[in-house]
Structure 1
Amino acid sequence: MNTIKLKSRNEIPKEYFWDMQKIFTSIDEFEKDFKSLKNMSNDITYFHGKLKSPNNLLNFLKLHEKISRLADTLYIYAHCRSDEDTTNTKFQSLRGEIDSFLAELSSKTAFFVPEVLSIGKEKVLNAINSLPELKPYTFYLMNILNLKPHTLSKEQEEIMAAVSDCLEAPSNIYDMLSDADITFPNIKDDKGFEVELTDKNYSVYIASKNREVRKSAFKGLFSTYYKYKNTFAMSLTSSIKSFIFNSKMRNFNSSLESSLKPNNIPLTVYDNAIKAINDNLSSLHRYVSIKKKLLGLDRIHMYDLYVPIIDTPDVHIDYNEAVKIVEEGLTSLGKEYLKIFKEGIENGWIDVFENKGKRGGAYSSGSYDTMPYILLNYNYKLNDVFTLAHEMGHSIHTYYSKKSQPYIYSDYTLFCAEVASTTNECLLVNHMINNELDKKKKLYLINQQLEQIRTTVFRQIMFAEFEKITHEKIETGTSLTSNDLCIIWHDLNKKYFGDEIIIDSEIDIEWARIPHFYSDFYVYQYATGYAAANAFATNILNNPNASLKEYKKFLKAGSSDYPINILKNSGIDMTTPEPMKKTIERFNELLNLIEKNI
Structure 2
Amino acid sequence: MAEVIKREEQKLENTWDLTSIFESDDAWEEAYKAVEQRIGEEEKFKNGIDSKETLLEVLEFDREISEAFGKIYVYAHLKHDQDTSNDTYSGLETRARSLGVSLSTALSFLTPAILAIPEDTLKEYAESEQLKEFKFDLEKLNTQRPHVLSDKEEQLLARAGEVMHTPTQVYGMFNNADLEFPSAVDKDGNEHTLTQGTYIDLLKSSDRTLRQSAYENLYSQYGQYKNTLSQTLAGEINTHVFSAQARNYHSSRHQALKNNHIPEEVYDNLVKTVNDNLHLLHRYTELRKEILELDSLKMYDVYTPLVKDVDFKVTYAEAEEWLLSALQPLGEEYVGIVKEGLDNRWVDVYENKGKRSGAYSSGTFGTNPYILMNWQDNVDNLFTLAHEFGHSVHSYYSRQNQTSNQSGYSIFVAEVASTFNEALLADYMFKKLEDKKKKLYLVNEQLEGFRGTVFRQTMFAEFEHKIHELREAGEPLTASRLNEVYGELNQKYFGESVDYDEYIDVEWARIPHFYMNYYVYQYATGYSAASSLSKQVLEGGSEVAERYINEFLKKGSSNYPIEILKNAGVNMADSEPIENAMKVFESQLDQFEELLAELK
Q: Normalising by structure 1, what TM-score? A: 0.84
Percent identity over the alignment is 40
Paired with 2:113 and 2:486, the residues of 1 have a C-alpha distance of 45
Question: 2:246 corresponds to which residue?
Answer: 249
CA contact (8 A) 1:490 1:508 kept: yes
Paired with 2:98 and 2:239, the residues of 1 have a C-alpha distance of 27
Question: 2:364 corresponds to which residue?
Answer: 367
Paired with 1:52 and 1:325, the residues of 2 have a C-alpha distance of 57
Paired with 2:595 and 2:261, the residues of 1 have a C-alpha distance of 45
Question: Of the candidates 125, 137, 140, which is equivalent to residue 137 of structure 2?
Answer: 140
State which structure, 1 or 2, has the greater radius of gyration over its C-alpha atoms.
1
After superposition, the Cα gap between the structure-2 partners of 1:42 and 1:247, relative to the gap in structure 1 and judged at 3 Å, is: closer
The structural deviation recorded for 1:161 is 5.6
In the alignment, residue 408 of structure 1 is paired with which amino acid?
N
CA contact (8 A) 1:186 1:196 kept: yes
Paired with 1:393 and 1:46, the residues of 2 have a C-alpha distance of 42
Question: 2:108 corresponds to which residue?
Answer: 110
The gaps in structure 2 that reach 5 residues or longer are none
The gaps in structure 1 that reach 5 residues or longer are none
2:390 counterpart of 1:393: yes
CA contact (8 A) 1:333 1:548 kept: yes
In the alignment, residue 418 of structure 2 is paired with which amino acid?
S
Residues 34-57 of structure 1, C-alpha deviation per residue, up to 9 Å, x if partnerless? 665555555333222232332111
Paired with 1:184 and 1:359, the residues of 2 have a C-alpha distance of 15
Question: Of the candidates 69, 72, 87, which is equivalent to residue 70 of structure 2?
Answer: 72
CA contact (8 A) 1:446 1:590 kept: yes
Paired with 2:172 and 2:87, the residues of 1 have a C-alpha distance of 27
The structural deviation recorded for 1:92 is 7.7
CA contact (8 A) 1:353 1:377 kept: yes
Paired with 1:381 and 1:320, the residues of 2 have a C-alpha distance of 12
CA contact (8 A) 2:101 2:158 kept: no
In the alignment, residue 350 of structure 1 is paired with which amino acid?
W
In the alignment, residue 284 of structure 2 is paired with which amino acid?
Y
Question: 1:507 corresponds to which residue?
Answer: 504
After superposition, the Cα gap between the structure-2 partners of 1:246 and 1:200, relative to the gap in structure 1 and judged at 3 Å, is: same
Residues 184-238 of structure 1, C-alpha deviation per residue, up to 9 Å, x if partnerless? 7786434314679777765455444333443455455556766776776666566
Residues 297-342 of structure 1, C-alpha deviation per residue, up to 9 Å, x if partnerless? 1332333212222359545656554333212111221233223334
CA contact (8 A) 2:98 2:162 kept: no
Deviates most, 173-182 or 312-321: 173-182
Paired with 2:62 and 2:451, the residues of 1 have a C-alpha distance of 44
2:412 counterpart of 1:415: yes
CA contact (8 A) 1:352 1:378 kept: no
2:58 counterpart of 1:60: yes
2:346 counterpart of 1:350: yes
Deviates most, 83-92 or 62-71: 83-92
CA contact (8 A) 2:291 2:306 kept: yes
2:573 counterpart of 1:575: yes
Question: 2:292 corresponds to which residue?
Answer: 295
Cα RMSD (Å) of the superposition? 4.1
Question: Of the candidates 527, 551, 554, which is equivalent to residue 552 of structure 2?
Answer: 554
Find the residue that maps to 1:49 and give its secondary structure: coil
The structural deviation recorded for 1:77 is 5.1
Question: 1:403 corresponds to which residue?
Answer: 400
Question: Of the candidates 124, 127, 150, which is equivalent to residue 125 of structure 2?
Answer: 127
Paired with 2:2 and 2:129, the residues of 1 have a C-alpha distance of 70
Question: 2:46 corresponds to which residue?
Answer: 48
The structural deviation recorded for 1:270 is 0.1
Find the residue that maps to 1:152 and give its secondary structure: coil
Find the residue that maps to 2:116 and give its secondary structure: helix
Question: 2:426 corresponds to which residue?
Answer: 429
Between the two proteins, the alignment pairs up a number of residues equal to: 594
Question: Of the candidates 337, 341, 357, which is equivalent to residue 338 of structure 2?
Answer: 341
After superposition, the Cα gap between the structure-2 partners of 1:342 and 1:173, relative to the gap in structure 1 and judged at 3 Å, is: closer
Question: 1:328 corresponds to which residue?
Answer: 325
In the alignment, residue 64 of structure 1 is paired with which amino acid?
D
CA contact (8 A) 2:82 2:354 kept: yes
2:536 counterpart of 1:521: no
The structural deviation recorded for 1:100 is 4.9
After superposition, the Cα gap between the structure-2 partners of 1:570 and 1:106, relative to the gap in structure 1 and judged at 3 Å, is: same
CA contact (8 A) 2:3 2:193 kept: no
Paired with 1:324 and 1:181, the residues of 2 have a C-alpha distance of 37
After superposition, the Cα gap between the structure-2 partners of 1:209 and 1:20, relative to the gap in structure 1 and judged at 3 Å, is: closer
Residues 240-260 of structure 1, C-alpha deviation per residue, up to 9 Å, x if partnerless? 455334323322122321221
CA contact (8 A) 2:266 2:572 kept: yes
Residues 363-405 of structure 1, C-alpha deviation per residue, up to 9 Å, x if partnerless? 4333333443445565654444334322322222122212221
Question: 2:490 corresponds to which residue?
Answer: 493
Deviates most, 43-52 or 30-39: 30-39
Question: 2:464 corresponds to which residue?
Answer: 467
Paired with 2:207 and 2:219, the residues of 1 have a C-alpha distance of 19
In the alignment, residue 441 of structure 1 is paired with which amino acid?
K
In the alignment, residue 363 of structure 2 is paired with which amino acid?
G
In the alignment, residue 69 of structure 1 is paired with which amino acid?
E
Question: 1:586 corresponds to which residue?
Answer: 584
The structural deviation recorded for 1:424 is 0.8
CA contact (8 A) 2:101 2:161 kept: no
Question: 1:271 corresponds to which residue?
Answer: 268
Residues 543-564 of structure 1, C-alpha deviation per residue, up to 9 Å, x if partnerless? 2345323311110110111212
Deviates most, 553-562 or 45-54: 45-54
Paired with 2:88 and 2:230, the residues of 1 have a C-alpha distance of 43
Find the residue that maps to 1:133 and give its secondary structure: coil
After superposition, the Cα gap between the structure-2 partners of 1:255 and 1:43, relative to the gap in structure 1 and judged at 3 Å, is: closer
After superposition, the Cα gap between the structure-2 partners of 1:35 and 1:155, relative to the gap in structure 1 and judged at 3 Å, is: closer
CA contact (8 A) 2:329 2:542 kept: no
Paired with 1:340 and 1:122, the residues of 2 have a C-alpha distance of 43
CA contact (8 A) 1:8 1:355 kept: no
Find the residue that maps to 1:502 and give its secondary structure: coil
Find the residue that maps to 1:300 and give its secondary structure: coil
Paired with 1:368 and 1:574, the residues of 2 have a C-alpha distance of 28
Paired with 1:395 and 1:364, the residues of 2 have a C-alpha distance of 6
CA contact (8 A) 2:111 2:148 kept: no
Paired with 1:466 and 1:93, the residues of 2 have a C-alpha distance of 34
2:449 counterpart of 1:452: yes
Paired with 1:138 and 1:2, the residues of 2 have a C-alpha distance of 55
In the alignment, residue 134 of structure 1 is paired with which amino acid?
L
In the alignment, residue 574 of structure 2 is paired with which amino acid?
T
Paired with 2:78 and 2:235, the residues of 1 have a C-alpha distance of 37
Paired with 2:175 and 2:81, the residues of 1 have a C-alpha distance of 26
Q: Normalising by structure 2, what TM-score? A: 0.84
* Match runs of 1:202-281 below 5 Å: 202-219=199-216, 240=237, 243-281=240-278
The structural deviation recorded for 1:20 is 5.5
Residues 433-469 of structure 1, C-alpha deviation per residue, up to 9 Å, x if partnerless? 2221123322222111211111121011112123333
Deviates most, 76-85 or 402-411: 76-85
Question: 1:191 corresponds to which residue?
Answer: 188
CA contact (8 A) 2:105 2:158 kept: no
Deviates most, 542-551 or 521-530: 542-551
Paired with 1:204 and 1:18, the residues of 2 have a C-alpha distance of 24
After superposition, the Cα gap between the structure-2 partners of 1:12 and 1:469, relative to the gap in structure 1 and judged at 3 Å, is: closer
In the alignment, residue 248 of structure 1 is paired with which amino acid?
Q
Deviates most, 193-202 or 152-161: 193-202
